[in-house]
Amino acid sequence: MTEKSTRFRAYVDHRTRQTMTTLAVAATMILVALVACEDNQPPDRPTVRDLREASTISERTELRIGVNVDIPLMSYRRNNAYHGFDIEIARYIADSLGFGDKSIRWVPLDTEDRIEKLRSGEVDIVVASFSITEEREKRVGFAGPYLITTPEVLVATEYVNEITTITDLNSEEYTVCVAGGSTTEAMLRERGIPHQQANNPAACRDGILAGEFQAMVSDETILAGLRSENPDELAIVDMPFGVEEELGIGVPVEDENLRDLVSYFLDKSYQRDQRDEANAWETAYNNHLGQWLGEASQPRPDGAPDLVDHDDKNRR
């Protein structure tokens, strides 16, 4: 081999090594970039199906929903059928979870029984004007709020100009009724306002109409419903209690998956409302409460998760 050929061969080998090194470096950089890109990708979001299969309702063939049966506008039973704002919200949640009307078992509850029925496993969820409180959250999981309301006073119309202030409620002339186990009962107790307890709001209403009580305290949605059936005999008095009540859907405290599912579907309705699209909450409110309480918007539920929803409802 001539000296010229040897130099050419050496040159070619050098250029080949340079090219291979360059390609190797480039490949390494591409691989590093791909790994870095993969590391920066958000983790796979859980799906509605994932949470449903991990929840306490995964093997249920029916959904047991605890409800009131005697609160007009909110939740009541007529001719063995259930109606009201809470009932429509409950149906929306049940349908979203994969339970059609024929797979719902309605379980009547008194106000003071809501927590125990849930904790004992007699119901899967509670949709019954259930106010979210710090104390209750120790024993119940809540999804919501799905409605924000305030406590007011219901009186017989003959007392509408006599019972006008919180001070009047303290008078020995009047007997105040409240549903036992309610947040308003706790509020009256904390304020030192004398009162008598009844099993449910309807019993207080009946006591006012019979002259046994002169006033009852509850949230305005319940009072509007009670008054709607006796508008000439009953009146609502607006009193500045200075508190709001957030209504939530109760689930077993240990079942975070079910709570997240219910929160997700409440938020789904909320997001539709924000886009001015038809949604379950607006329909339910306008069908039952709008005429009595005026316009309102669905509040945004707290802590709603970001789930993948393939609309696979596993209908039974």
By percentage, how much of the chain surpasses pLDDT 90?
A: 78
Q: Where in the sequence is the domain holding 87, given as residue range(s)?
A: 48-146+246-293
Please report the pLDDT score of residue 204 as a whole number.
96
Alpha carbons 236 and 220: distance in angstroms, whole number: 8
Are residue 136 and residue 270 in the same domain, yes or no? Answer: yes
Question: Which pTM does this prediction carry?
Answer: 0.81
Are residue 160 and residue 218 in the same domain, yes or no? Answer: yes
Q: Average of pLDDT values for 277-283?
A: 97
Are residue 228 and residue 188 in the same domain, yes or no? Answer: yes
Mean pLDDT rounded to a whole number for the chain? 88
Q: Average of pLDDT values for 101-128?
A: 96
Are residue 202 and residue 175 in the same domain, yes or no? Answer: yes
Total domain count for the chain? 3
Looking at residue 54, the DSSP 8-state letter turns out to be H
Alpha carbons 204 and 295: distance in angstroms, whole number: 27
Please report whether residue 309 resides in a domain: no
Are residue 57 and residue 102 in the same domain, yes or no? Answer: yes
CATH number at residue 192: 3.40.190.10
Please report whether residue 307 resides in a domain: no
Please report whether residue 283 resides in a domain: yes
Are residue 136 and residue 185 in the same domain, yes or no? Answer: no
Are residue 117 and residue 263 in the same domain, yes or no? Answer: yes
By percentage, how much of the chain surpasses pLDDT 70?
A: 84
Are residue 136 and residue 274 in the same domain, yes or no? Answer: yes
Please report the pLDDT score of residue 17 as a whole number.
56
Looking at residue 45, the DSSP 8-state letter turns out to be P
Please report whether residue 8 resides in a domain: yes
Please report whether residue 299 resides in a domain: no
SS3 at position 135: coil
Sign of CA dihedral 172, 159, 231, 292: negative
Question: Does position 161 have pLDDT exceeding 90, yes or no?
Answer: yes
Please report whether residue 313 resides in a domain: no
Q: Which positions ≥6 away from 41 have C-beta within 8 Å? A: none
CB atoms within 10 A of CB 282: 18
Are residue 87 and residue 196 in the same domain, yes or no? Answer: no
Are residue 37 and residue 55 in the same domain, yes or no? Answer: no
Are residue 16 and residue 159 in the same domain, yes or no? Answer: no
In tens, the pLDDT along 59-99 reads: 999 999 999 999 999 999 999 999 999 999 999 999 999 99
In tens, the pLDDT along 228-279 reads: 999 999 999 999 898 999 999 999 999 999 999 999 999 999 999 999 999 9
pLDDT band at residue 109 using 50, 70 and 90 as cut-offs:
very high
